[in-house]
Amino acid sequence: MPYEFKFPDVGEGIHEGEIVKWLVKEGDKVKADEPLGEIETDKAIVEMPSPKSGKILKIHVPAGGIIHVGESMVTILEEHETEEDAKKHFETKKTESKDAEAKSDIPYTGSVVGFVEEAREVSPIYGAKSKIKASDSVTAVQATPAVRNLAKQLNADLANIKGTGPEGRITIEDVQKAAPKKDESSGIKVTRKYDFFGYIDRVQLHGIKKVVAQKMTESIFTAPQLTNMHEADVTGLASLREKEKAAYEKEGTKLTFMPFIVKAAAKCLKEHPYLNASLEGEEIILKKYYNIGIAVDTEDGLFVPVVKGADAKDVKTIAKDIDKLAGDAKSRKVNLMDLKGGSFSVSNLGSVGVEFFTPIINYPESAILGIGRIMEKPVARSGKVEIRKMLPLSLTYDHRIVDGAQAARFMNDLIEMLRLCEF
């Protein structure tokens, strides 16, 4: 029988993708591993290879359409099969659809990268010590605090919403879809091109912008966040960078302040482990690896690729890593593995003229460092006023894990390291 290729679970919590374009059309012959099309997930644009050699019988989702994990992408008539096989396949399609529908309530945790254990506990909206276990009751509402808060705002009844997340968990998207809408009773959806004050444009929230919106909502509703603001004297660091910049450029690497900051942060995290942690239930997980996420601004939205093992790398290697990761993110060809495993993040708005700001934690990490624009300022030193290069730094942290004094001590060590150029 013809092979029905379904959109696989590629991991990373990806549940859907948008077909950017098809590289084949119905009737085309393809070889195994030949690209079929490009699919945009909330992480990257993925080129999907053909699993079989044969003829494309049917493309199930048009370009621009949304496809969910487990849904059919294309049907392929394999090389050894005949047109009669194709006819029988489509005749039995309705029966197969009914069988699949009957199994749709069974939770699926498999993926193309193996089977992973799904979280089985979900915190209710109130009471940090309370837990609802999936095994306790099939009628228990499974939703994170962020989802419950959103449901309350939108006046949506969680008890009547069927979750599409792992093991039936209700997601933010489920709540948004189920929330009561105006003109719902008439069955007519009204989309106005103007509001009370004039004409407006509407831009669909999708792809990376959609997932960033969901992640930021989850972060801000889950973790109580506080920001400490400091200034670091980087006059010496600026001189060091200027001396080494030409040598780096000869090797094709752009030397910014970021590699120095990443290296210094990784070293300081070893001395301040609660800044390199996450919270799971009533346990604080102190991570023994130092993977620094770098926020990268792209035309499609914000990506956070990760410099792995930053503590064990020198500044030059970190600079090369950042160059490559940023380039891959901007071209949307970033490897999914480069987007996971972060333990601490750094966000730079200094390049667009911002001094201090309040970065939002890349949840479930416990902290994020914001880098501002370096400015020359008069500073009193040994009874004299000197013009020094000062770097604004903003540290946001999860106040459940890190207290103000811990955060301040981390920043004091980081500032001293940057001042002395000890890398």
Gap between the Cα atoms of 219 and 398, Å rounded: 10
Q: Which domains are seen in the chain, by residue range?
A: 3-102 (2.40.50.100), 121-205 (4.10.320.10), 223-420 (3.30.559.10)
Residue 18 · residue 40 · CB < 8 Å: yes
375 pLDDT band, cuts 50/70/90, is very high
pLDDT score at 385: 97
pLDDT at 136 over 50: no
Sequence-separated (6 or more) residues with CB below 8 Å from residue 324: none
| Helix (H/G/I), strand (E/B), else coil: 100 | helix
Residue with the larger pLDDT of the pair 108 and 23: 23
pLDDT at 106 over 80: no
Gap between the Cα atoms of 255 and 239, Å rounded: 12
270 pLDDT band, cuts 50/70/90, is very high
Gap between the Cα atoms of 144 and 149, Å rounded: 9
Residue with the larger pLDDT of the pair 237 and 193: 237
185 pLDDT band, cuts 50/70/90, is very low
pLDDT score at 110: 40
**What is the pTM assigned to this prediction?**
0.62
**Can you list the pairs that 60-64 forms with residues at least 24 positions away whose Cβ atoms lie under 8 Å?**
61/19, 62/19, 63/19, 63/20, 63/21, 63/22, 63/37, 64/18, 64/19
Residue with the larger pLDDT of the pair 321 and 127: 321
pLDDT score at 188: 43
Sequence-separated (6 or more) residues with CB below 8 Å from residue 130: 123, 124
Q: Which of 114-128, 135-149, 257-271, 283-297 has the lowest mean pLDDT?
A: 114-128
Structure tokens of 411?
């920043």
pLDDT score at 42: 67
- Of 94-108, 169-183, 242-256, the range with the highest mean pLDDT is 242-256
pLDDT score at 343: 98
Residue 395 · residue 411 · CB < 8 Å: yes
Structure tokens of 83?
């047109």
Region 91-117: mean pLDDT is: 50
DSSP at 210: H
Residue with the larger pLDDT of the pair 334 and 132: 334
Question: What torsion, rounded to 10 degrees, do the Cα atoms 323, 352, 305, 292 define?
Answer: 90
- Give me the count of residues in the chain: 423
384 pLDDT band, cuts 50/70/90, is very high
| Helix (H/G/I), strand (E/B), else coil: 18 | strand
Residue 292 · residue 313 · CB < 8 Å: no
pLDDT score at 227: 98
Task: Round the average pLDDT of the chain to a whole number and report it.
Answer: 84
Gap between the Cα atoms of 127 and 148, Å rounded: 13
150 pLDDT band, cuts 50/70/90, is confident
Nearest residue to 122 via CA among 245, 200, 22, 222: 222
Residue 124 · residue 133 · CB < 8 Å: no
Region 196-206: mean pLDDT is: 84
Burial class (CB in 10 A: 0-12, 13-18, 19+), 208: buried
H-helix segments, 155-199: 172-178
pLDDT score at 155: 80
pLDDT score at 101: 54
pLDDT single digits (tens) 12-70: 567 788 898 999 999 999 999 899 998 887 667 778 899 999 999 999 999 888 888 88
Gap between the Cα atoms of 402 and 396, Å rounded: 10
Burial class (CB in 10 A: 0-12, 13-18, 19+), 247: exposed
Gap between the Cα atoms of 115 and 99, Å rounded: 23
Nearest residue to 310 via CA among 298, 320, 301, 299: 320
Count Cα atoms within 13 angstroms, Cβ side, for 104: 13
Q: So which residues are the catalytic ones?
A: 399
pLDDT score at 11: 59
pLDDT score at 149: 76
Gap between the Cα atoms of 82 and 74, Å rounded: 17
pLDDT score at 124: 39
What is the Cα 214 distance to its own chain's centre?
A: 9
pLDDT score at 360: 98
Sequence-separated (6 or more) residues with CB below 8 Å from residue 313: 263, 307, 321
pLDDT score at 95: 65
Residue 202 · residue 191 · CB < 8 Å: yes
Residue 121 · residue 133 · CB < 8 Å: yes
Percentage of the chain beyond pLDDT 90 is 55
pLDDT at 184 over 90: no
